[in-house]
Amino acid sequence: MKHRIILHCDVNNFFASVECALNPSLKDLPLAVTGEKSKRNGIVLAKNNLAKMCGVQTGDVIFKAKQKCPDLVCVRPHHDMYEKYSKKIRKIYEEYTDRVEPFGIDECWLDVTDTVKFFGTPLDIANTLRKRIKEEIGVTISVGISFSKIFAKLGSDMKKPDAVTLIPYSTFKKQTYHLPLNSVIGIGKRLEVKLNKMNIYTLGDLAGYDEKIIKKKFGVVGENLQKKLQGIGDDEIASAFDYRQVKSIGNGTTTIVDVKNMEEMKSVVMFLCDEIASRLRKKNLVGSTIHISLRTSELTWASKSHTIETLTNTAKDLFDESIKMIEKMWDKYTLIRSVRISVSNLQDETAINQLNFFDKKNNKKQLNKAIDKIREKYGYKSIQPLITKNEEFINSNALRLDDRD
């Protein structure tokens, strides 16, 4: 059986590394990228290796971080530059394969199964990428090479910074089965506690456990995770250039600070719905099915779909329905790391029945058109929903868009 060749490339200390690339005088100093001191989000968002050696951790309040490291230099985040650097790095990846799957802003899986013959061995590709990104971008990456996404990512985590780890199918059990459960993506603290109660402590323990019991206790998610650890399954990474007909329009965001209450959730949801509604209108589309996906801080997913009675492309309609769905699917006690909202069952707005002149919806349509014109002329931030403009969670720049159509 021919196994796939998958690389996982992870930029080391991404935010802090970009700050050092932008200002080389910071390279030899303990550095932390932080939120604003005067606001709730005055915490460490990222740090470099020197700060890490002093015990500084992501999520530390600034004054506590400085107690650990008195010489710590704190800088505010520059998310526009992080996006710019991320795109530059991905362009380099795409020179070696069209199959590039982003995982957040600083990580990507690359499937080089069909292109490896043009560039040497998988190790050759990994080392070339390390060298090029260091020289051309000014940051370093760690690369994991394996036959699946889960073990490629595990490989990139095993040696940092600026390193390559190979985990081939022939030796993956020997290399990984002794490692603790939290070594792989998909096993958070809560799941780890549940598995520990079953005397499952290592990856090998989980891989070798009775499959029927795992499926009964943890459902399809547990079953799939166990199969991945057994080396079963074929990870498909779609081409970045595949043509896709627009069947839905959605936005997703990963928050630097976990969402912990409904007020913060409403800010995130309005931010996403406002963007989605604007894009629907630009394409002259309306939709009726809303899909919500929430990812917890333990990297588990929950999703829900609902079809509303009327077709819409307004932010308020999408927001109201989305919040109703989230209230039913979120227990409010679980921290949320990512939110994705999409709208499907799309129709051409010009093809549906014309609105009556006296219909209140027509007023709403004219208002949205006016908002779109203002933003087109003066920029998106020139007019925003109050819930996103005044909320610190939004102003902290904690949001970033992951995905488009």
Q: Which residues contact residue 280 at a Cβ distance below 8 angstroms, ignoring those fewer than 6 apart?
A: 249, 286, 287, 313, 343, 346
Q: Which residues contact residue 391 at a Cβ distance below 8 angstroms, ignoring those fewer than 6 apart?
A: 263, 264, 267
Q: In this structure, is the dihedral angle defined by the CA atoms of residues 88, 89, 94 and 99, taken in order, positive or negative?
A: negative
d(CA 8, CA 185): 12
DSSP string, 16-37: HHHHHHH-GGGTTS-EEEE--T
How far are the Cα atoms of 102, 128, 140, 318, 353 from residue 122, in angstroms, in the given order? 19, 10, 18, 45, 56
Residues involved in catalysis? 107
Cα 203–Cα 204–Cα 209 angle in degrees, nearest 5:
105
Cis peptide before 180 (omega within 30 of 0): no
Which H or E run includes 310? strand 301-312
Q: Which residues contact residue 11 at a Cβ distance below 8 angstroms, ignoring those fewer than 6 apart?
A: 17, 89, 106, 107, 133, 139, 140, 141
Q: Which of 323, 338, 319, 188 is nearest to 259 (CA)?
A: 338
Helix segments in 69-109, DSSP class H: 79-93
189: buried, middle or exposed (CB in 10 Å: 19+, 13-18, 0-12)? exposed
